[in-house]
Every structure is written in C-alpha cells, then in structure tokens.
Structure 1
C-alpha cells in the first residue's frame, strides 16, 4: 500500500505543479488586462489603440524591467474629451508592454522554478521508498511512477533555460529612474515657464496700468 501511495503521490504532485503554473499565467494575464485599461495592442503597427481610436507609439525601452513604454501625443491627449478619466499627465497617456512572452519572462521563470521545486519534492517519497528495498515488483511500480512524473514535467523544465534576450532597436533605452527624473524635470520646467507669465506675477486685487 505504501508503494502505491508513493507512486500516486509522485504523479499527483506533477499535476499540482501545472496548477501552480496555470494560476501564475492567469494572474499575469489579468494583471496585464488591468494595466491596459481598455487599450488594444496593434501588433501590425507596434502601437496601442485607445478607446478613442488614437494610437500610442513606442517611446522608450526599459532594459531592467524588460518593458516597452508607449505614449500618446500630448496635443491629442490634452484635447481628448475623456482625458480626466484616462490620465492626469500633460505629456500624454503612457502604457507599458512586456517584450518577453510568458515562458521567457522573469515572472514565468520564477513561478516555473517553484513548480519544478514541487516536482522534486514529489519525487522524494518514491525515491526514499525505493531505498528501503521493497522488492522487484514494488521497485518497478516506483520506477514507472518516477519516469512518468519526469516525462510529464519536461515542459516545465524546458522553459527554465535562459532564452535569447530580445532588445528592441531604434528606440531609446531608459530605465524607470530615468523616466521619473525626466518627468520631474519637465514638471519643474513647466512651473518655471508659468511663473514667467504676467498674469501669474500680478498680485490679487491689482489692475494692469497702461
């Protein structure tokens, strides 16, 4: 009985590992859908199409987070009738897209690593039982269970290898820190320009004299 339980446990754990991988993939898909917020990616143009049928074009690539950043034209976004529900930025709406497919992404490799660890833990029981020398018949059952578990888990292991890194060409490379710094500099420059307007320098209650 112990031999059959160990063999069944070994195969069942592989199924559990696939459940972990499927849940992680689904969570990533839901998260990406929430980030897109109704925007549709147009692969033929490498651009995002907003609900108002305007396109956001690639602006920069973040090599650290492996995402491409797309931004709409400020002149179009600032004149959009639904801008207040879309973005508060005066530089246009920005949206991101992971350049790596799910099996090649860092998040996928992390969860695949967890799934493969679960598979290894599942092999521990039948292998430990085999070391007690239960007999030829029991060893055959355990050997078949281990072999089936390893074969079923091959797709999980295959995606752990490092895939070729895709680096987009013709797009500026900027990290998240660079983007934040640029935004702060743009906000400071805008504030300085506004402080130079005569209407802003005029004290309340005073009138312009000729």
Structure 2
C-alpha cells in the first residue's frame, strides 16, 4: 500500500514534456551536415531520454568512430538550442495532473539531467509549469541521476522528507535515484520506454500509463 504523497518530483524529457521530435530534428540536422542518412522517429524516440551522446550513437551507429564526438555534441546542442521548442509538447494528461497538484496544495518540482541552460530555455514555453517549486538540472550539482543527490537536494528545497515524496521518471536511472533517495519510485510508461528497456525489471513502486493516474493517489 503506497502512502499518500506530500510532494511530487518529475523527470522532464519523457515524463512531463515530449521533446523527442525536437531532439530528433537536431540529430538529423547533424547527420545531414556530415552527409549521413537521417534517423526515423521510431528509431530515436526511445533514446530521447539518453541525451546528446545516446542520440548521436543511435544516429551514427558504427560510423560514429569516424568523427570527433565532442564536435558532434557541440553541433547537436547548438542546433537544439536554436530550435528547442518547435515540436515539443507536454504529454496528454500532464496539465490535468499539474492542475490537480496545485489545487491540492501539493508542492512539485523537476529533477532532470538536461543541462541547466537548455532547461531554462525550454520551461518558459509552458505556462502550466509556473507553480514549479524547484528545478534541478543535470549540472546544477556535482552529481546527477542516478545519484540521489539531485533528488535529496530538491526535497530540501521544498522542505519535505524524501520518504513522503514520489519521483516520476521514464528511465532506469530515475528509478535507481528515487530508491537511493528513499522516495517512492514511479515509472512513466507513456514516456521513452521500449521493450528493450525491460522496465518491469526496475522494481519500481508504481507504473503509470497516464500522468493523471497520480491524482487517484492523492
């Protein structure tokens, strides 16, 4: 039996925001710049949570060894910055969930591995996130997920003990971080999870197929 959460923390990409198409657009731009075949949405979608390196690895494949990875990352990030919110949307049900949390006076925040400068560029496009109490990015602290430090830091900011917080994410590192931080771990099945990830083996406390499912537990 899960206890009622007193606070909620979210991953960003693949949990609150569907950023895959804009990330894929940046990937395909880099591929095109180097005269490489572009990558289909169905191929890169479930890699979208893995950052620039994961996307470049799936896009270039074995050809990646022929290029300087740091140069490719810089090109990818520059392009993504320029077009960070063309096709990005919040997942269906996210606004309903956020409205419900706000109405119930349950503080919530974001803990992401996305670099801070990109997080700060992206979030203002979504007014539903105005009530967010804390944002911790991948380079805010000395450690990032799956280390628990970003989650425990966020818990300190919203002044709620970790054992009363639920952390929701779509990657194994999210669940590992939540467990290490003594938080209730929740898998966003609607996010960037494919059969190859074997999410059932992550042993999370809860698996949800829609964001608003969380409201049933308040």
- Please state which band the TM-score falls in when normalised by the shorter chain: under 0.3
Using structure 2 for the length normalisation, give the TM-score: 0.25
TM-score, L = length of structure 1: 0.26
